[in-house]
């Protein structure tokens, strides 16, 4: 059933529901008609038998009674299906038709109405005991049902014959309707099938019907937009990555070729090898960064989060940062709190994040400048800031510094050797901790990079700060 096309399934359901409905209708209509026939006949019988009872009550002698019944105009006009007996079953009066079609002497002496067919004709028989002159008479009055039953049978025949035809017609209508209703779905399917990586920017035509199909098309278009964006990012990333890798490889190749062009002194060879080794080191760290971002994208780079003291993490990164700063004659200041600040984090990743920020601060701050690292907890977050008095970042570059491969002034940045991946990695680390990273900067005055990481939980920090 599930492998059939939807419109066939809808039609089948439609058919099943209709067939059940028709059958129920038929059964109910049939019994309701029969019930109402019995009701009408019974009322008639009740009315007529009153006349007979009055007559019996007037005359109580046996012979006289039979005669009276035979003579009574009213009774003869109303019904000739009448019989009267005593409780022992001896006839007092029996009309001609009753002796032909009617039941035998009554065994029941209580009031009752039953349907019987003692002979050729189905009868509705009303039995009534009447007391008169100290005797009991059992009066039975009957009404033939054959005409009614024939009408009922005709009705049943019509129902049986017309139902399949009606069902067939209705199902064909249902099929047509479901085809019509599902046609736009086929349209959407066809359009969606034609979209591939080559034309990810094409979109489905949205029907402005305000219904489920419009919502479906819009949802699919939204999904396409997200896919296109992700696809673009990946393509861009691959292109940038290969470009970044090609440069140092070409450089190493040139160095080696130049060195081999003619015989050289051992010192010259050593020099070339040293330069190539330096290039190689830069290239492998670039590859490492690229792989980290690729793992982050695919969601396979998992953090080992434990409860750690942020003061220690930042302090460790500062040890290295201070060394970097001092070789460039930059003043390095730390403003770290005494009490611990607990967070759920991966200490290696966090150290890496702060080294990225400190490395940038040193790179983009001239000698005699100042770098300040501070840490505090506020609003349920650990807030760390790396502040420098360096060259700053132009306002139009600020929104892009966290983008992959972005470098503000490309020529100058290449001199300092970065690939523009540091802050992308830093941002990923902050976000993987449920935190954020922000930048404030003024060209010529310096920059502030602010990292916020949620605290490990209120009570743990309260306990932690008491220790
Ligand atoms: N402290 C800073 N001062 C000025 N510019 C900065 C600073 N940190 C980052 N930038 C700018 O942001 C760009 C991206 O930084 P990053 O992702 O670390 O790449 P990289 O350092 O490899 O160039 C840098 O090229 C630089 O232009
Ligand atoms: Mg950097």
pLDDT at residue 411 above 60? no
For residue 321 the two structure tokens come to 């940062």
How big is the CA angle at 110 (ends 105 and 112), to the nearest 5 degrees? 85
Tens of pLDDT along 69-90?
Answer: 777 766 666 567 888 888 888 8
Tell me the per-residue pLDDT of 116-157, one tens digit each, with 9 for 90 and over: 888 888 999 999 998 887 888 899 999 999 999 999 999 999
Dump pLDDT digits (tens) for 278-306: 999 989 999 999 999 888 888 888 888 99
Residue 361 in contact with ligand 1 by CB distance below 6 A? yes
Q: How far is the CA of 393 from the centre of ligand 1 (A)?
A: 8
Q: Which atom of ligand 1 is nearest to the CA of 409?
A: 27
Identify the residue whose C-alpha is closest to ligand 1 atom 9: 360
Does the C-beta of 423 come closer than 6 Å to ligand 1? Answer: yes
Return mean pLDDT, the chain.
Answer: 88
User: Closest residue (by CA) to atom 25 of ligand 1?
Assistant: 407
Q: Which of 288, 290, 358, 364 to mutate to test the pocket of ligand 1 (most atoms within 8 A of CB)?
A: 364
In short, whether 408's Cβ falls inside 6 Å of ligand 1 is yes
Cβ of 393 closer than 6 Å to ligand 1, yes or no, is yes
CA distances from 392 to 66, 398, 444, 448 (A): 131, 10, 5, 9
Report the range of poorest mean pLDDT among 158-167, 365-374, 454-463: 454-463
Q: Looking at residues 318-337, what average pLDDT do you find?
A: 95
Percent of the chain with pLDDT over 70: 93
Report whether 343 contacts 456 (CB < 8 A).
Answer: yes
pLDDT level of residue 107 (50, 70, 90 thresholds):
confident
Question: What DSSP string runs through 132-144?
Answer: ETTEEEEEEEEEE
Strands of 135-144's sheet in order across: 91-94, 82-85, 135-144, 123-132, 112-116
The stretch 52-73 carries a mean pLDDT of 75
Least confident among 103-112, 332-341, 387-396? 103-112
- Residue 360 CA to ligand 1 centre (angstroms): 6
State the ligand closest to the CA atom of 364: 1
Quick: pLDDT tens for 194-210: 988 888 888 888 888 88
| Residue of minimum CA distance from atom 22 in ligand 1 | 418
Q: How confident is the model at residue 102 (pLDDT cuts 50, 70, 90)?
A: confident
Ligand 1 neighbourhood includes 420 CB (under 6 angstroms):
yes
The answer to whether the pTM exceeds 0.75 is no
């Amino acid at each position: 059933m599930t492998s059939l096309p939807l419109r066939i399934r809808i039609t089948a359901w439609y058919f099943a529901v209709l067939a059940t409905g028709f059958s129920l209708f038929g059964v109910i209509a049939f019994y309701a008609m029969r019930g109402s026939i019995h009701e009408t006949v019974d009322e008639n019988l009740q009315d007529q038998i009153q006349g007979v009872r009055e007559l019996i009550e007037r005359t109580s002698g046996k012979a006289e009674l039979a005669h009276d019944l035979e003579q009574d105009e009213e009774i003869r006009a109303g019904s000739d299906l009448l019989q009267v007996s005593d409780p022992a079953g001896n006839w007092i009066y029996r009309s001609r038709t009753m002796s032909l079609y009617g039941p035998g002497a009554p065994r029941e002496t209580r009031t009752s109405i039953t349907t019987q067919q003692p002979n050729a004709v189905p009868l509705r028989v009303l039995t009534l005991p009447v007391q008169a002159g100290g005797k009991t008479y059992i009066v039975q009055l009957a009404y033939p049902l054959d005409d009614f039953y024939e009408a009922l049978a005709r009705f049943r025949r019509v129902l049986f014959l017309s139902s399949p035809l009606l069902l067939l017609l209705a199902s064909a209508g249902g099929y047509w309707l479901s085809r019509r209703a599902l046609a736009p779905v086929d349209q959407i399917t066809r359009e969606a099938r034609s979209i591939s990586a080559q034309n990810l920017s094409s979109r489905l035509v949205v029907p402005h019907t305000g219904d489920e199909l419009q919502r479906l098309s819009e949802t699919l278009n939204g999904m396409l937009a997200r896919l296109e964006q992700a696809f673009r990012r990946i393509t861009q990333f691959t292109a940038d990555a290969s470009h970044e890798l090609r440069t140092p490889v070409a450089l190493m190749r040139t160095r080696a070729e130049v060195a081999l062009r003619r015989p050289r002194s051992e010192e010259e060879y050593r020099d070339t090898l040293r330069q190539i080794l330096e290039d190689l080191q830069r290239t492998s760290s670039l590859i490492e960064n690229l792989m980290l971002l690729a793992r982050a994208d695919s969601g396979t780079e998992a953090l080992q989060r434990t409860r750690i003291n942020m003061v220690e993490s930042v302090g460790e990164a500062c040890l290295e940062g201070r060394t970097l700063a001092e070789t460039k004659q930059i003043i390095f200041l730390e403003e770290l709190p005494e009490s611990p600040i607990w967070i759920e984090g991966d200490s290696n990743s966090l150290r890496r994040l702060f080294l990225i920020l400190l490395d940038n601060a040193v790179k983009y701050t001239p000698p005699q400048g100042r770098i300040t690292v501070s840490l505090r907890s506020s609003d349920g977050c650990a807030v760390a800031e790396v502040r420098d008095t360096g060259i700053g970042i132009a306002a139009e570059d600020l929104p892009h510094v966290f983008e992959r491969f972005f470098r503000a002034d490309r020529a100058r940045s290449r001199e300092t050797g970065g690939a523009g991946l540091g802050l992308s990695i830093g941002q990923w680390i902050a976000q993987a901790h449920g935190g954020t990273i922000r930048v404030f900067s003024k060209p010529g005055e310096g920059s502030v990079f602010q990292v916020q990481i949620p605290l490990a939980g209120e009570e743990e920090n309260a306990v932690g700060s008491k220790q």
